[in-house]
């Protein structure tokens, strides 16, 4: 019996195939195969908002291959990703491939391991149309808003702009934070820190609190601070209150998509799209070698807002904790974290798929970024299942001439979950002073006292991590959409990255202002969150697709008609950012403009003066380099027999025919690496591709087609005889034959 398994990503084919065996053929659809057309609305608003799907350009070949294999198979398993988007892709595949319902099943894998994949195949079901309709409703709503709103922006601001249902709200969040920062007025305040010591020379760091132990007093000026210093001069610092208590510190729950993105941003500065790409690799399958069971996924599905943990995973974590740290580190009762009411509980939280694969074991197998993210996920999961940390906290109230100071310090009585390396950035216990025994009425000696001027600070700029947190708190978007939301508002030029911060552009401010004025409801946080809840309700079978879409569209259309009637007759001018740079053509000031490739400087005298200057990612001018003259050589063109010259271009030096543009023959400048080609014996050259990436190919190209992204070495594989190549890190060698798993440290 032949079985066909259709998945989304080609990256999972090899892994899933190895889990299922010979009777299963695995093939990838490479994402969606159908979508709404790009050139028209693609929705029949007069026929229950029926979507008009078309085959995505370039997918015909894939579809034909899928059709042929599906017709030949006895059974077809649609194994796209286990979420709404994946459910919709399975439905689209069933339609476009005209699959027979009686021989077609839907299966899902929460993790790509042999056990999980086989279990998924053994638990088939039919396509969940509630999930499909929820995804369709989201896609249709986004199309209606974007397709109807964008022309309004073209008319009022400039052509080429686009608006999105969620992206417009995200841009508003960034803009309003910028406005808060700009409007912020710092206020002065003072603090007084005293360094005290006990009779046993233990040091106590105390802070001024106020005129009583019950009410804090703010110090607003230097004069007030000096008055306090004058009042306590020569007085005794007496402990009037001393309490010691034990406090529990609980671990954080395992990661959801949102919290994983936030933590990866905070710790490593990963952008959300980068985090999701790495997580996708860890989920789909990593080449671990025979030592660790070959290719398989090492984390569970990475798009989730659930905190649920499978029983077998919790039990495996218990065994690991008790064997590694001791039985006293596991709580008396298993930890169960409550998932938010708005969360979709179809998946587990993000966790390792195999507790035997400690990050340190895989350090030499994973890339640097894969290792960092995997270790983050591993540590968070293990810590989430452990016992609380116990802290012994000492709190002191100290009085001097009617003025009160407070001090506190702590010892770790029991490490609990903080025993997991890297989970907590605790200060070094050896360096921190241990809690001294300080009793009430003890007199402390003043070692030093210092007033300090401070100023209140504005709210911080959003970075990707803090924006994801804000979106989640407000219920805007869903785990699978956060990365796309951020990348979209940056690509549209509404927001830009300033190092790690996200800042609004003049264009973004203008678009948000127009949206707030004309479509206030549709860029409102609560309205957008309520729309997300209604879309979720379709997946849960509480509302229908048509109910949600028709209600939204009726209200939206009225708002759009009103906005079009009140639209200004002239376009709104986008403010320009003037700089101190002077145009070297006409002497006028240069202004910052935003193009498809980022920022650049343009003369403020445009269109009379069209001078521009390129900027690098740090905002510095890239100096223009004079074009180098071609250098004559003794080489002759193979095609036309004319002499060749040495030229210097964007990606380095190369040989070119002098009869250009009639003859466009070029040759790379030989840069041999001292290794003979395994196919023909000629030199292997180091070459730069058109994208600027280095690769290695035979000097005899194109007659000899040997090429490799990794640097070959003059050593052959002992297993199959193919040439060995260096790993990306350069710390190991592996066989260039993709079917051979030989690796050498």
pLDDT tens-place string over residues 662-704: 888 888 777 788 888 888 878 888 877 766 678 888 877 767 8
Interatomic CA distance for residues 583 and 591, integer angstroms: 10
pLDDT given for residue 692 in this prediction: 64
- Mean pLDDT, residues 138-148: 92
pLDDT given for residue 685 in this prediction: 85
CA angle, residues 166, 592, 581, in degrees to nearest 5? 160
Collapsing DSSP to helix, strand or coil, 47 comes out as coil
137-184+460-565: which CATH number, 3.30.420.40, 1.10.3720.10, 3.40.605.10, 1.10.460.10?
1.10.460.10
DSSP-derived secondary structure for 376-432: HHHHHHHHHTSPPEEEEEEEEEEEETTEEEEEEEEEEEE-GGGGSTTT--PPPTTTS
Catalytic residue IDs? 301
Residue 618 in this model has a pLDDT that exceeds 70: no
Look-up of token digits 């209604």: 534
Interatomic CA distance for residues 66 and 27, integer angstroms: 8
270-384: which CATH number, 1.10.290.10, 3.30.565.10, 1.10.645.10, 3.40.1360.10?
1.10.290.10
pLDDT given for residue 671 in this prediction: 79
Q: How many CB atoms lie within 10 A of CB 482?
A: 28
- Residues 6 or more apart in contact with residue 239 via CB below 8 angstroms: 396, 397, 398, 438, 439, 440, 441, 442, 443, 444
The one-character DSSP state at 661 is: T
Residue 60 has φ and ψ, to the nearest 5°, of: -60, -45
Could you tell me the two tokens for 496?
């830009």
pLDDT given for residue 299 in this prediction: 93
Total length of the chain: 745
Collapsing DSSP to helix, strand or coil, 259 comes out as helix
Residue 551 in this model has a pLDDT that exceeds 80: yes
pLDDT given for residue 595 in this prediction: 67
pLDDT given for residue 428 in this prediction: 46
Chain-wide mean pLDDT for the chain?
88
**Banded pLDDT at 38 (limits 50, 70, 90):** confident
Q: Are 26 and 13 in contact (CB under 8 A)?
A: yes
Q: Are 725 and 742 in contact (CB under 8 A)?
A: no
Residue 336 in this model has a pLDDT that exceeds 70: yes
Residue 541, phi-psi category: left (phi > 0), alpha (psi -120 to 50), beta (remainder): left
Q: Are 480 and 257 in contact (CB under 8 A)?
A: yes
pLDDT given for residue 426 in this prediction: 46
- Mean pLDDT, residues 49-54: 94
Residue 430 in this model has a pLDDT that exceeds 50: no
pLDDT tens-place string over residues 368-391: 999 999 999 999 999 999 999 999
- The Cα-based distances of 117 to 111, 122, 352, 444 in angstroms read 7, 9, 16, 67
pLDDT cut 90: percent of the chain above it:
57
Residue 597 in this model has a pLDDT that exceeds 70: no
Interatomic CA distance for residues 111 and 81, integer angstroms: 10
Interatomic CA distance for residues 480 and 464, integer angstroms: 15
pLDDT given for residue 431 in this prediction: 44
Interatomic CA distance for residues 522 and 152, integer angstroms: 14
DSSP-derived secondary structure for 490-557: HHTTSEEEETTEEEE-HHHHHHHHHHHHH-GGGG-HHHHHHHHHHHHHHHTTSS-HHHHHHHHHHHHH
CATH of domain 188-250+389-455: 2.70.20.10
Nearest alpha carbon to residue 107 among 124, 86, 128: 124
| pTM metric for this prediction | 0.77
pLDDT given for residue 307 in this prediction: 92
CATH of domain 3-127: 3.40.50.140
pLDDT given for residue 660 in this prediction: 84
DSSP-derived secondary structure for 271-331: -HHHHHHHHHHHHH-EE--GGGTSEE--BB-S--------HHHHHHHHHHHHHHT-GGGS-
* Domain ranges within the chain, ordered by starting residue: 3-127, 137-184+460-565, 188-250+389-455, 270-384, 577-614, 631-744
Min mean pLDDT across 321-335, 432-446, 610-624, 637-651 is at 610-624
Q: Are 26 and 5 in contact (CB under 8 A)?
A: yes
- Mean pLDDT, residues 395-424: 90
**Banded pLDDT at 567 (limits 50, 70, 90):** confident
pLDDT given for residue 44 in this prediction: 93
- The Cα-based distances of 631 to 378, 628, 638, 653 in angstroms read 57, 9, 18, 11
Interatomic CA distance for residues 15 and 28, integer angstroms: 12
Nearest alpha carbon to residue 279 among 111, 63, 398: 111
Residue 284 in this model has a pLDDT that exceeds 60: yes
Residue 626 in this model has a pLDDT that exceeds 80: no
- The Cα-based distances of 416 to 251, 375, 386 in angstroms read 9, 19, 7
Most distant CA pair in the chain, distance: 102
- Residues 6 or more apart in contact with residue 605 via CB below 8 angstroms: 583, 586, 588
- Mean pLDDT, residues 393-415: 93
pLDDT given for residue 293 in this prediction: 66
pLDDT cut 70: percent of the chain above it:
93
Residue 588 in this model has a pLDDT that exceeds 90: no
Q: Are 431 and 437 in contact (CB under 8 A)?
A: no
pLDDT given for residue 231 in this prediction: 95
Nearest alpha carbon to residue 701 among 725, 722, 685, 690: 685
pLDDT given for residue 344 in this prediction: 53
**Banded pLDDT at 342 (limits 50, 70, 90):** low
Interatomic CA distance for residues 516 and 525, integer angstroms: 12
pLDDT given for residue 432 in this prediction: 52
């Amino acid at each position: 019996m032949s079985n066909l398994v259709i998945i989304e990503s080609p990256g999972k084919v090899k892994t899933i195939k190895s889990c299922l065996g010979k009777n299963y053929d695995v093939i990838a659809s490479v994402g969606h195969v159908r979508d709404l057309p790009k050139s028209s609305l693609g929705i029949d608003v007069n026929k229950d908002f029926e979507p008009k799907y078309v085959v995505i350009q370039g997918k015909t070949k894939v579809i034909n291959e899928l059709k042929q294999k599906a017709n030949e198979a006895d059974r077809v398993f649609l194994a796209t990703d286990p979420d709404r988007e994946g459910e919709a892709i399975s439905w689209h595949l069933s339609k476009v491939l005209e699959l027979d319902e009686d021989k077609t099943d839907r299966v899902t894998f929460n993790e790509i391991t042999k056990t999980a994949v086989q279990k998924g195949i053994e638990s088939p079901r039919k396509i969940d149309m509630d999930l499909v309709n929820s995804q369709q409703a989201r896609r249709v709503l986004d199309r209606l808003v974007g397709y109807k709103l964008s022309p309004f922006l073209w008319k009022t601001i400039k052509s080429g702009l686009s608006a999105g249902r969620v992206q417009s709200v995200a841009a508003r969040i960034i803009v309003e934070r910028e406005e808060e920062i700009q409007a912020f007025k710092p206020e002065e305040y003072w603090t007084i820190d005293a360094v005290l010591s006990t009779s046993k020379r233990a040091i106590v760091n105390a802070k001024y609190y106020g005129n009583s132990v019950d009410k804090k007093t703010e110090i607003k000026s230097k004069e007030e601070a000096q008055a306090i210093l004058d009042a306590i001069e020569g007085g005794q610092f007496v402990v009037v209150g001393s309490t010691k208590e034990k406090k529990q510190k609980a671990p954080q729950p395992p990661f959801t998509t949102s919290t994983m993105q936030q933590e990866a941003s905070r710790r490593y500065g990963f952008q959300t799209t980068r985090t999701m790409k790495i997580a996708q690799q860890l989920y789909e399958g990593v080449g671990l070698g025979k030592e660790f069971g070959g290719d398989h996924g090492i984390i569970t599905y990475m798009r989730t807002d659930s905190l649920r943990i499978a029983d077998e995973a919790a039990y495996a974590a218990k065994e690991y904790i008790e064997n590694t740290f001791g039985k006293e580190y596991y709580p008396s009762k298993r930890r169960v974290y409550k998932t938010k009411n708005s969360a979709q509980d179809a998946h587990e939280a993000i966790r390792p798929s195999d507790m035997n694969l400690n990050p340190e074991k895989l350090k030499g197998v994973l890339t640097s970024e894969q290792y960092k993210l995997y270790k983050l996920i591993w540590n968070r999961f293990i810590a989430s299942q452990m016992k609380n940390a116990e802290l012994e906290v000492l709190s002191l109230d100290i009085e001097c001439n009617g003025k009160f100071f407070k001090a506190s310090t702590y010892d770790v009585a029991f490490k609990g979950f903080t025993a997991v390396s890297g989970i907590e950035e605790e200060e070094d216990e050896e360096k921190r002073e241990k809690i001294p025994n300080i009793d009430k009425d003890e007199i402390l000696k003043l070692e030093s006292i210092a007033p300090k001027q401070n100023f209140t600070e504005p709210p911080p700029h959003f970075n990707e991590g803090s924006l994801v947190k804000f979106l989640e708190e407000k219920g805007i978007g869903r785990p699978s959409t956060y990365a796309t939301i951020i990348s979209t508002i940056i690509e549209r030029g509404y927001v830009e990255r300033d190092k790690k911060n996200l800042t609004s552009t003049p264009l973004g401010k203008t678009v948000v202002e127009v949206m707030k004025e004309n479509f206030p409801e549709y860029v409102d946080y609560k309205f957008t969150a309520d729309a997300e809840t209604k879309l979720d309700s379709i997946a849960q079978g509480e509302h229908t697709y048509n109910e949600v879409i028709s209600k939204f569209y009726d209200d939206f259309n009225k708002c759009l008609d009103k906005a079009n009637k009140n639209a200004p007759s002239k376009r709104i001018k986008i403010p320009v950012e003037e700089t101190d740079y002077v145009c070297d053509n006409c002497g006028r000031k240069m202004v910052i403009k935003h193009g498809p490739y980022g920022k650049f400087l343009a003369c403020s005298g445009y269109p009379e003066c069209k001078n521009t200057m390129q900027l690098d990612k740090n905002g510095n001018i890239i100096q223009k380099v004079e074009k180098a003259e071609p250098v004559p050589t003794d080489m002759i063109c193979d095609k036309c027999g004319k002499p060749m010259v040495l030229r210097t271009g964007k990606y380095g030096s190369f040989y070119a025919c002098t009869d250009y543009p009639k003859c466009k023959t070029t040759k790379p400048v030989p840069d041999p690496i001292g290794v003979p080609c395994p196919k023909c014996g000629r030199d292997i050259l180091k070459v730069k591709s058109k994208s600027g990436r280095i690769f290695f190919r035979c000097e005899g190209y194109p007659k000899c087609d040997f090429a490799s992204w990794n640097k070959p070495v003059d050593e052959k594989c002992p297993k199959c005889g193919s040439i060995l190549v260096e790993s990306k890190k350069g710390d190991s060698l592996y066989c260039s034959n993709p079917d051979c798993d030989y690796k050498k440290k």
